[in-house]
Amino acid sequence: MCGIMGYIGPREAVPIIMEGLQKLEYRGYDSSGVAIIEDGVLNVYKKVGKLAELKNQLNGMTFTAMSGIGHTRWATHGRPSDVNAHPHADCQGRFAVVHNGIIENYLPLREWLISMGHKFLSETDTEVLSHLLEEFYEGDLVQTVLRVIDKIEGSFAMVILSLDEPGTIVAARQDSPLVVGLGEGENFLASDIPALLAHTRRTYILADGEIAVLTREGVQVIDQFGNSVEKPVFEVKWEAAQAEKGGFDHFMLKEIHEQPSALKDTLSGRINPDGTGVLLNEITMTPEELKNINKIYITACGTAYHAGLVGKHVIEKLARIPVEADIASEFRYRDPMIDDKTLLIVVSQSGETADTLAAMREARRRGAKAIAVTNVVDSTVAREADYVLYTWAGPEIAVASTKAYTTQLMAMYLLALYFAERRGTMPREELKTVIREMKKLSDKVKVILDNCQAIDKFVAEYSHCGSAFFIGRGLDHTVAQEGALKLKEISYMHAEAYAAGELKHGTLALIIQGVPVIALATQQALFEKMVSNIKEVKARDATVIALAMEGIKEVEKVADHVMHIPSTHPVLAPILSVVPLQLLAYRMAVARGSDVDQPRNLAKSVTVE
């Protein structure tokens, strides 16, 4: 996720900004840049790669600027490159902007600005901001920022430096974090607290819709109507290492809590404004090519493969195309039947997993077209695929994948609806219902995160256990597999996921007194069958923790403990039901004392076969 640092005061700005950006490196980035005003000129320096590259560029130069803004970029719109790095300036070099988030309506705005004579240099969504400022500026930067905000849709933390008002830095926030640091005769801005700790612990945490106007002397906060806002000072008590994790004890927990905003970002700009359809501008298949697809393979590894299993279910159900989901390390060696009517979907958070890459190369060699669903812009998988759907989850640091998985699921739903709509396999009303429900998922994940106390009780009782079983049917079985993987991966507890109806064909022999069984029962249509399976394990004295959708009441009668997820369209349940399982694995790992963020024997990106 991008990092922002801004400074205004009596000291040299560049070293302070560079040091602040360094403190934000843990967030992940692929390029960086700074903008300062010196001798009446707005100078922008930016470089692809690590901060060291930017430092090399600045080496030997002397700076006297006492205000400036800086940025570390994690690419979304446009690959990592010098020109796509922030800050972005307007045509005349009067405004410099750094931005985190996504401007959803940047394409029409860009077209309009081009028609007004503006020249764009980068592929980014951010660049529309500097040109909008240039277009609207009439002598008052704050008023201009308010006007720009009125024109844009999406999420942003943006910070602006202007040649016309060099004694001021203006910042605005909507759905992307931004913190003001309050100094003595100097003030700071950052996307995260660690960048401020060397200078101050007194902060304003900006809320959505707020705008901060920084001068040396002070900071004024206003709302989107220009009214003054009284901000309480937030005194940071965390130490630096904890601050990096946003106050959470581990990156994994932080990333679990980032899911609501990550899910919003994945959907951003991909739904028609009237909610009647899906827009995937990145899939440029002709209607003929779409019609001709007669088979889809989804291939991936680990958690990404589990996302692929959900993809198989929903694409088959909604778009009526046969889909096979394959583990990438098996796929290429099993001589899959592929021709030019086959579509391959590869799913990879990192976009660098060797087995996934090899599977994609093999399928393309045999004539398939490939769509990559990945989180890392310009990764190898993204570069080599025919089409790319980015998940925009922001960097995932913990080895255990959480927000990458839920955003991959969102991408699967988008693809399923995209195919269904274009192939006419779904009634328009149902399509609209699913889209409406997809938009609510982010808030529903928040509800789950705020109400997960039942997990603690379970963890206290079962953290000593040697083994746990996860059972479910249909989509619930795919989520059970992800739940079991998560538990194994970070708590080192043995865990197995089974299709609930399959237990009695062998595995039931392992179900004895006290063995915890986590039973997923979110699918109303399969509920009766699940009740029978729960009774089967209860009859062997297992302890059952059921995970059910709100409204499915009878489950209380058969299970020992019940956790509810908010109700949603049944195909969307996996995005919600996996969240308690992620938390369960996390709490279990903490209780058992394992290294949550760096589990033994595992790496974040597996680049060997």
43 interacts with ligand M6R by CB under 6 A: no
Among residues 353, 491, 522, 582, which is the contact residue for ligand M6R, using CB under 6 A? 353
Say how many C-beta atoms besides its own lie within 10 A of residue 248's C-beta: 15
356 interacts with ligand M6R by CB under 6 A: yes
In the complex, the smallest distance separating the C-beta of residue 601 from ligand M6R, rounded to whole angstroms, is 11
- Dihedral angle computed from the Cα positions of residues 108, 266, 324 and 546, in that order, rounded to the nearest 10 degrees: -150
Provide the residue type at 170 as one letter: V
Lay out the site mask for ligand M6R across 391-430 (x = CB under 6 A, - = otherwise): --------xxx-----------------------------
Report 267-306 residues binding ligand M6R (CB under 6 A).
301-304
DSSP string across 13-81:
HHHHHHHHHHHTGGG--SEEEEEEEETTEEEEEEEESSHHHHHHHHTT-----SEEEEEEE--SSS-S-
Stretch that binds ligand M6R, among 31-39, 350-358, 418-426, 427-435 (CB under 6 A): 350-358
Task: Give the integer Cα–Cα distance in Å for 571 and 372.
Answer: 22
Q: Let me know: does 64 contact 38? Beta carbons within 8 Å.
A: yes
- The smaller minimum CB distance to ligand M6R, of residues 219 and 414, is found at 414
In the complex, the smallest distance separating the C-beta of residue 124 from ligand M6R, rounded to whole angstroms, is 24
Among residues 32, 67, 350, 582, which is the contact residue for ligand M6R, using CB under 6 A? 350
- The smaller minimum CB distance to ligand M6R, of residues 314 and 399, is found at 399
Provide the residue type at 579 as one letter: V
Report 486-505 residues binding ligand M6R (CB under 6 A).
489
Task: Give the integer Cα–Cα distance in Å for 80 and 310.
Answer: 31
**Could you tell me the CA-to-CA distances from 455 to 149, 272, 327, 552, 591 in Å, in that order?**
41, 38, 31, 19, 12
Nearest residue to ligand M6R by CB is 302
- The smaller minimum CB distance to ligand M6R, of residues 259 and 303, is found at 303
459 interacts with ligand M6R by CB under 6 A: no
Among residues 348, 406, 523, 577, which is the contact residue for ligand M6R, using CB under 6 A? 348
If 0-12 CB within 10 Å is exposed, 13-18 middle and 19+ buried, where does residue 598 land? middle
Contacts of 509 (CB under 8 A, 6+ apart): none
Q: Based on the residue annotation, tell me whether 2 is a catalytic residue of this protein.
A: yes
605 interacts with ligand M6R by CB under 6 A: yes
Task: Give the integer Cα–Cα distance in Å for 389 and 267.
Answer: 11
- The smaller minimum CB distance to ligand M6R, of residues 544 and 590, is found at 590
Instruction: Tally DSSP H helices, then E strands, for the chain.
Output: 20, 24
Determine the size of the site formed for ligand M6R (CB under 6 A).
15
Whether the CA torsion 565, 569, 575, 578 is positive or negative: it is positive
Q: Based on the residue annotation, tell me whether 604 is a catalytic residue of this protein.
A: yes
606 interacts with ligand M6R by CB under 6 A: yes
- The smaller minimum CB distance to ligand M6R, of residues 260 and 302, is found at 302
Q: Quickly tell me which residue has 């039931």 as its tokens.
A: 508
200 interacts with ligand M6R by CB under 6 A: no
Residues that bind ligand M6R (CB under 6 A): 301-304, 348-350, 353, 356, 399-401, 489, 605-606
Q: Point out the residues that are catalytic.
A: 2, 604
